[in-house]
Structures are given as C-alpha cells and as structure tokens.
C-alpha cells in the first residue's frame, strides 16, 4: 500500500492537493514541487517531459501506486508519452493521471454562451490540448485561449500583488475578453492561477464565471477510485501528508502558508 503522489512544477499543485484532500481526506499523500526548476511553462516539450518523468519515477520510488500530475503544462506535454509508453515498459500496474481531461469533460456544463476562455502557460496553450480535448467532449464550444507567460513567475516570486504585477494580469485578462464579447466562462488552466483567482474575478466582473480545477480534479479522482477498486486497494488511508520540494524548504513552507494557509514542514530532494 502506498500514498497518492501529487506533482507540480512548484506551488500551484497545492491548490489541487487541497481540494483532493477535502474530497478524500483519509488517503495518504506525497506532494512533490519541482520549485528548483519552475517555471515549466516556457520550456520545450522534451525538457518538460524529461523533468516530469524524473518526478514520476521519484514518486514511484516513494511507493506511490497512483500519481496526479497537478500541472497543466506537464499534463499537456508529458502525460501521453508517460501513459502510453513509459508506464507500460517499466511500471505497469501503476497509474498516472493529469488535470486536462477531467476539466474538459466538465467545461460543457458551465457555459451558456458556448464561448469559453482558457488561460494557461505558453506550453499548455501552444499544445492546443484544451482545444483538442474540448472538440471531443463539448464540440459545441468555441474556445478562446491565451498564454500568460508572466503569471507563474509573478506568483512564484510573490509579485502578483504589486502594481506592476496587477497591471500585467489586467492586460492579459483584457486581451482574453477582447477575443469575444460572448465569453461567459473562463477556465484557469494552470494550477498556479487559483492563487490569484480573486484578482481575476474582480477584473472580469460577475457576468463571467471563473473556474479553478481543484474541485473538478478532486471529484473526478473520487469517481475514478470508486470505479477502479483494484487501484484504490493499493492506496494507504492514513490521512498523512508529506511535502517535498527540490528548492529551499523554508521558502516552500513559508509560501505554502502565505498562499494556502497550510502550516507544513517540507523535506528536500534532488531529482
């Protein structure tokens, strides 16, 4: 029996872990943030894939039977290869899931105008993963997407509340809204962005709904474990959570508390 691994390039995945723990509080979790090499958003396909696989192998070695890649960029650029080749070659029986599919399966339920805005990193947007997946699950939707390459660095460095940070965020939100007056739903397709969800909601006003992925991923994971009892039976239910970062642990603890109100003692690793 082992924990559920939750991986992100940095702090963003903590927003997913929080929501998952609300829905599945009895399970054991290991969170891994590759803060030393974040952001992933502007890195090439090969590099994101290499870093993500290193993280996945690390979590497998910690005994995780199931890993959630709580990072859109890594889900967009690495998940398919990991699921279709590497898992089968070396770790059959273990599972790696991402955050894009659960989101695109659900987005159709939220929009009335069928015009949806997607905000994400350069990697996620250039991969067109949301457009491709939404064509499968909600073909009636017109997708308007925008890369916000500055947002993760702003959040990781705690600059999102400065005047300059707020101006950059406002400019990007305006750019997305100017793509269509019919956009009634915006998806924060980067797990870092819920940290600035209130800032975004203030900018778009009450007419446009803003969705974060944490609750969706959590709900879908719960359903997945109900369907796949063979995986559920491999998961320990001690309620314990460990946090591991590839960067400085004190900074990680401090930011986890500042952004998400989590009082934690993280450990350090090299990947």
CB of 11 to ligand DGL, least distance (A): 8
Note if 128 is an active site residue.
no
Site string for ligand DGL, 140-159 (x = CB under 6 A): ------------x-------
Note if 64 is an active site residue.
no
By CB under 6 A, residue 52 contacts ligand DGL: no
Q: Alpha-carbon distance 28 to 36, whole Å?
A: 25
CB of 97 to ligand DGL, least distance (A): 14
Site string for ligand DGL, 117-136 (x = CB under 6 A): ----x--x------------
CB of 41 to ligand DGL, least distance (A): 3
| Residue in the block written with tokens 């990697």 | 123
By CB under 6 A, residue 172 contacts ligand DGL: no
Which one of 66-74, 83-91, 202-210, 241-249 is the stretch in contact with ligand DGL (CB under 6 A)? Answer: 66-74
Give the residues lining the site for ligand DGL (CB under 6 A): 8-10, 12, 38-41, 71-73, 121, 124, 152, 190-192
């Amino acid at each position: 029996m082992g924990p559920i691994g939750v991986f992100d390039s940095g702090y963003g995945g903590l927003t997913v872990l929080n929501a998952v723990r609300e829905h599945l509080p009895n399970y054991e979790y290991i969170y891994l943030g590759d803060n030393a090499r974040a952001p992933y958003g502007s890195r090439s396909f090969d590099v994101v894939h290499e870093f993500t696989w290193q993280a996945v192998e690390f979590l497998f070695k910690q005994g995780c039977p199931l890993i959630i890649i709580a990072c859109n960029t890594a889900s967009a650029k690495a998940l398919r290869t990991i699921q279709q080749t590497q898992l089968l070659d070396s770790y059959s029986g273990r599972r790696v899931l991402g955050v894009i599919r659960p989101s695109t399966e659900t987005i159709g339920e939220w929009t009335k105008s069928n015009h949806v805005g997607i905000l994400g990193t350069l990697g996620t947007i250039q991969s067109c993963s949301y457009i491709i997946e939404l064509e499968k699950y909600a073909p009636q939707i017109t997708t308007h997407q925008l890369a916000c390459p500055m947002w993760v660095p702003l959040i990781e460095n705690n600059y999102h509340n400065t005047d300059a940070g707020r101006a950059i965020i406002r400019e990007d939100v305006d750019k997305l809204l100017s793509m269509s007056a019919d956009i009634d739903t915006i998806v924060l397709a980067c797990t870092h962005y819920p940290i600035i969800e209130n800032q975004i909601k203030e900018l778009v006003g009450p007419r446009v709904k803003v969705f974060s992925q944490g609750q969706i991923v959590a709900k879908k994971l719960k359903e997945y474990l109900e369907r796949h009892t063979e995986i559920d039976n491999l998961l320990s239910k001690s309620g314990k959570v460990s946090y591991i970062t590839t960067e400085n642990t004190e900074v990680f603890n401090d930011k986890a508390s500042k952004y998400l109100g989590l009082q934690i003692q993280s450990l350090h690793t090299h990947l």
